[in-house]
C-alpha cells in the first residue's frame, strides 16, 4: 500500500479510508495482520498517535480488531469495510454533484465532463 496523504485534509479519516478500501478490494485479506502502528506512521510520515486513533476508529466500525500483545488484524467478516467504502463513495459523489450544481452544471453537463475526463481530453 502506498501511503499518499492529502495534507489539506485531516489525516485520520484518510488512513481509515485507505485501509477500508484495501480490505474491501481484497488487498488486505480477512484475518490478515496489519503493519504495526509505528511502521505505518513511519511509512505515512505521520505521528503514531494519529495511526492509533485511526485503528481505534476502524475497530469501532468493525473493520479491524486488536489482539493483545500481538497487533491489529482485519476482521474475518469484511462486510463492514465494504459498507464503509460504499458509504464513502456515495458521500464523495454527493459532494461532487453539489459542487458542480453550485457551478451551474446540469446533470447532463456533469456526465459530459466525466466522459471528457475519462477519455483523457479536457
- 98: phi then psi, degrees, rounded to nearest 5: -65, -40
* C-alpha cell read off for 70: 500481538
Q: Each residue's pLDDT tens digit in the chain (122 positions)?
A: 788 899 899 999 999 999 999 999 999 999 999 999 999 999 999 999 999 999 999 999 999 999 999 999 999 999 999 999 999 999 999 999 999 999 999 999 999 999 999 986 55
Other beta carbons within 10 Å of 88 = 16
Q: Find residue 33's DSSP bridge partners.
A: 73
Q: Are 66 and 55 in contact (CB under 8 A)?
A: yes
pLDDT for 1: 78
pLDDT for 119: 83
Q: Are 28 and 19 in contact (CB under 8 A)?
A: yes
pLDDT for 121: 54
pLDDT for 3: 85
Structural domains for the chain: 11-80 (1.10.10.10)
pLDDT for 100: 95
Q: Are 43 and 61 in contact (CB under 8 A)?
A: no
d(CA 82, CA 79): 5
pLDDT for 78: 92
Amino acid at each position: 500500500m502506498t501511503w499518499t496523504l492529502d495534507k489539506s485534509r485531516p489525516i485520520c479519516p484518510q488512513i481509515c479510508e485507505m485501509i477500508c478500501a484495501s480490505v474491501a478490494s481484497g488487498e488486505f485479506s480477512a484475518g490478515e495482520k496489519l503493519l504495526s502502528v509505528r511502521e505505518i506512521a513511519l511509512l505515512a510520515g505521520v505521528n503514531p498517535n494519529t495511526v492509533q486513533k485511526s485503528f481505534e476508529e476502524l475497530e469501532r466500525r468493525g473493520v479491524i480488531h486488536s489482539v493483545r500483545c500481538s497487533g491489529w488484524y482485519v476482521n474475518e467478516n469484511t462486510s463492514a469495510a465494504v459498507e464503509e467504502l460504499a458509504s464513502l463513495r456515495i458521500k464523495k459523489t454527493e459532494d461532487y454533484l453539489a459542487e458542480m450544481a453550485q457551478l451551474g452544471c446540469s446533470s447532463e453537463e456533469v456526465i459530459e465532463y466525466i466522459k471528457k475526463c475519462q477519455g483523457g481530453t479536457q
